[in-house]
Structure 1
Amino acid sequence: MNDADGFIDTINAFFGGALTTLIGAFTGRLMWHSSEVKLGRRKFFGKELLWEVPIAIGMALIGDAAARYIGLTQPVSTGFVATLAYLGPRGAEALLCGWLGRRK
């Protein structure tokens, strides 16, 4: 590592790309969950937090595949995964439908 490495590059060096992608996805879901807590729709340590685990893993897989498809490299792909994880499955679906609709 050198002094120019960013935060994601540092995480990549310590943990590897797969774990960095998962960290990005879990961070995205935690940000969304926290906003729901702030709005009073959830308790922070409620059972809903457990449902975020499979969503984060699924969004990591989907986001990593999409990042590779469009040619993103690190650290941009980790940010892309975190963004998709924040949006969740419904948000990602809306984004994909909008993108596909413009392509026709």
Structure 2
Amino acid sequence: MSSKARDFDIPRDVLDKMCDRLGGYLDRKKSEKELSLDAREADVARREEKAAATQKQLDDWHYNLKAKEERLKDKEDRLQARESWWHHDYKRQKGPQGKHNPGGKGWR
């Protein structure tokens, strides 16, 4: 026993009880710290999963947007081709006098 403990005449069983309580307190603090580390790791894992899901959703949206743009471009190209053909056909149907030929065969 230390000299201070002898000065206070603290009985041995009281000292043992105090040490047990202090040991229990330290064990609880250690387990709380371990739990908080586990909780942090779980939180990081959850955030990574959420980020991966968000990235997948963004990739899907990007893919769908690109597909829509391609469909729109194809539609515009078809419309452009139809308009140019109509213009060519309309000019073909007009005769040398500039009048529309209702027969549709054109002037030859």
Shared fold (TM-score greater than 0.5)? no
Q: Structure with the greater relative contact order (CA < 8 A, sep ≥ 6): 1 or 2?
A: 1
- Which range, TM-score by smaller chain? under 0.3
Q: TM-score, normalised by structure 2?
A: 0.26
| Greater Rg by CA | 2
